[in-house]
Amino acid sequence: MNREFRRSELALLRLFKRAQLNPSSRFYEQMARAPWAMTSPAAGVHRSVSLRLAATALAVVVLLALIVPLTSLAQQVFHFFTQAETDTVDKAVFLAPTFEAPALNDLTNIEQASAVAGFAIRLPQELPGEIQITAASVNPGSVSVTYSDGQTTLVFLQGMKTESSSFYVGAGAKVEAVPVDGVMGEYVRGGWQRVGDGLVWDNNAGSALLFWEKEGVRYGLLVEAGEMARETLIRIADSLSSPK
């Protein structure tokens, strides 16, 4: 038994040792813009990329405009969404939702919750029908609030803005730029449907996503179950309380 266990362990260690798990050039191009890489080039094998990008601010702007479409190949990258090359995914795995308890799951005291999150939490002042908070999760840097009326489930996300967060949508998804909360956001209707072992993107699926950024915080409204019109989502977003 022990010998068999050891043999299996060695086989797995060999498999993962051989697997070429390395970041692509896209990653290094992105990291060349990181705050710690901007003033002088990074050491090591990626020095030449950093040097080129750090040459002048103007060169960075021009170069990035060229790099994004080249490195993303057939994928279109929006501000909040990344469009996959296809509407079908043959091999998909459904992860068990086994999340640990959040740092705080109570929004009664917004100041206390904001202190845990590290930013001023905003909540919608206007919600349609009987919809109300059913769950909240506050962690350093991110907050998730779930609303439901028993039929429609809406998840409101807010978090410290990071440069690269992106959601995958199908090739056929229509990403629309929409004015929301005083800034421009992006809206997508549709979702991934499970078909056999894979997934198919369906523009007519009930789910919808609205994302925007304001004052260093990224916001998202996700319709998880049921249906909600784009205008309703925007109205909810426009009703967010002011940061305290």
Residues lying near another protein in the complex (CB under 8 A) are found at 5, 8-9, 12-13, 15-24, 26-27, 30-31, 34-37, 39-40, 42-44, 75, 82, 89, 91-100, 137, 139, 141-142, 144, 155, 157, 159-160, 162-168, 191-192, 194, 199, 207, 209, 220, 222-224
**8/27 Cα distance (integer angstroms):** 33
Minimum distance between the CB of residue 64 and another protein, rounded to whole angstroms?
A: 15
Minimum distance between the CB of residue 62 and another protein, rounded to whole angstroms?
A: 22
Minimum distance between the CB of residue 125 and another protein, rounded to whole angstroms?
A: 23
- The label of the residue with tokens 């919809």 reads 131
Give phi and psi for 165, each to the nearest 5. Answer: -60, 135
Q: Which is nearer to another protein, 207 or 232 (CB)?
A: 207
Minimum distance between the CB of residue 141 and another protein, rounded to whole angstroms?
A: 7
Angle at 154 between CA 148 and CA 159, to 5 degrees: 130
What is the biggest distance separating any 2 CA atoms in the chain, rounded to whole angstroms? 64
Minimum distance between the CB of residue 76 and another protein, rounded to whole angstroms?
A: 13
Q: Which is nearer to another protein, 127 or 221 (CB)?
A: 221
Q: Which is nearer to another protein, 151 or 182 (CB)?
A: 151
Whole-Å CA distances, 57 to 37, 161, 162: 13, 22, 21
Minimum distance between the CB of residue 114 and another protein, rounded to whole angstroms?
A: 17
**151/26 Cα distance (integer angstroms):** 41
**12/32 Cα distance (integer angstroms):** 34
Q: Which is nearer to another protein, 5 or 242 (CB)?
A: 5
Residues 6+ apart with CB under 8 A from 39: 54
Q: Which is nearer to another protein, 45 or 242 (CB)?
A: 45
**239/26 Cα distance (integer angstroms):** 38
Q: Which is nearer to another protein, 25 or 182 (CB)?
A: 25
